[in-house]
Amino acid sequence: MSNQGSTTASVRVYLREGFSWDGFGAYIIDIDGTLMKSPDGIHFASFAESIESVLGQKVSMDGISLSGNTDRAILRAAFENAGIPASAWEPKMDAVLAAMCSIVEQKRDLLRPTVIPGVVEFLNHLEAKGAALGLGTGNLEGIGWLKLEVAGLRKWFRFGGFSDHHEARPDLIGNAAVEARRIAGQDATLCVVGDTPRDIAAAAANKLPVIAVSTGRFSFEELMECKPDACTENLQALLGVQN
């Protein structure tokens, strides 16, 4: 473990030997838990609200795993929990997704995203290094970009992989990788940044390196068990650390 460049003596940073965390041509970065937190709950509430508005049925979100999940997969779990057959919801999925985006957009003035400390410094550093920055998020595209706009982070990002057409996280990361290389060049080196074991697994599925940050629901120790290339308790702590 290395604590070099930590913002405080207690901030832990791990770098795999030989891993240059800021030497990539493009970065695919998660939103929730990595860039920001959303205490307003608008996005979360939109799952049940959209299902009720389109299908006329109430669902419970109890027990559904959210961290590192995708909006499509979360909706599937909600349908299954409520005992709604696939024959009833699959033909309506596009309408439910559109309703989610519409609900969140209508409530944009109630959104209260909180940018995680150190994120702006991290993004500024990578931008100064000439890296292309994009999103790799389980959010629907309309919701993801809206969150960034309201949080004041939109200006840094040029592309993204979202869950509109991808239920599995590895697939949306793969899509983001295609977009990254379209912008940064086909030979560009890529790195994923996220806060959950699912981010780490999705990066591995695409044979991409990953920086894990324990600013979400998973601890530094839990993320380290998944063997990321780098792990830190906050992104700013990386700025003074070189391997």
Confidence band for 240, pLDDT divided at 50, 70 and 90: confident
- Of all residues in the chain, the percent with pLDDT exceeding 70 is 95
Which one of 77, 110, 143 terminates a domain? 110
The answer to whether position 6 is within a domain reads no
Residues 6+ away with beta carbon under 8 Å from 103: 42, 45, 46, 49, 50, 53
Total domains present in the chain? 2
Residue 91, both tokens: 């033909």
Amino acid identity of 93?
A: M
| Closest listed residue to residue 51, CA positions, set 76, 21, 27, 28 | 76
Boundary of a domain, candidates 90, 110, 130 = 110
Kindly state whether residue 146 falls inside one of the protein's structural domains: yes
- CA–CA distances in Å: residue 243 to residues 17, 20, 91, 95: 7, 6, 51, 48
CA distance 1 to 158: 33
pLDDT of 242 above 80: no
Same domain for 196 and 219, yes or no, is: yes
- On whether residue 2 sits in a domain, the answer given is no
pLDDT at 8 over 90: no
180 and 162, same domain (yes or no): yes
Is position 47 within any domain?
Answer: yes
- Regarding whether 199 and 128 lie in a shared domain, the answer is yes
If asked whether residues 66 and 135 sit together in one domain, one would say no
pTM: 0.94
Mean pLDDT along residues 11-24: 96
Do 132 and 235 lie in one domain? The reply is yes
Q: What type of residue is 18?
A: G
**Is the predicted pLDDT of residue 5 greater than 70, yes or no?**
no
Nearest Cα to Cα of residue 223 among 207, 203, 243, 205: 203
31, 148 Cβ separation under 8 angstroms:
yes
Specify whether 55 is located in the same domain as 167. Answer: no
Q: How big is the CA angle at 215 (ends 160 and 156), to the nearest 5 degrees?
A: 35
Across 45-49, average pLDDT? 97
Residue 195 resides in a domain: yes
Average per-residue pLDDT in the chain? Answer: 94
Together in a domain, 134 and 147: yes
* Residue 196 maps to a domain: yes
- The whole-angstrom separation of Cα 162 and Cα 29 is 11
Instruction: Indicate whether 105 and 146 sit together in one domain.
Output: no
Same domain, 143 and 229: yes
Phi-psi region of 96 (alpha: psi -120 to 50; beta: other; left: phi over 0): alpha
Q: State the pLDDT confidence band at 1, using cuts at 50, 70 and 90.
A: very low
Residue 241: band (very low, low, confident or very high) from pLDDT cuts 50, 70, 90: confident
Pair 173, 10: CB distance under 8 Å:
no
pLDDT exceeds 90 at position 123: yes
Are residue 76 and residue 119 in the same domain, yes or no? no
Residue 160 sits in the same domain as residue 195: yes
| DSSP, res 32 | B
Q: Which of 110, 140, 169 finishes a domain?
A: 110
Q: How confident is the model at residue 198 (pLDDT cuts 50, 70, 90)?
A: very high
- Residue 74: CATH number of its domain: 1.10.150
Residues 133 and 220 in one domain: yes
Q: Residue 223: which domain range?
A: 13-38+112-240
Q: What is the mean pLDDT of residues 2-13?
A: 56
pLDDT(187) > 60: yes
Output the domain CATH number for residue 134: 3.40.50.1000
Instruction: Report the distance separating Cα 193 and Cα 203, nearest Å.
Output: 9
pLDDT at 188 over 50: yes
Q: What is the pLDDT of residues 53-72, one digit of tens each?
A: 999 999 999 999 999 999 99
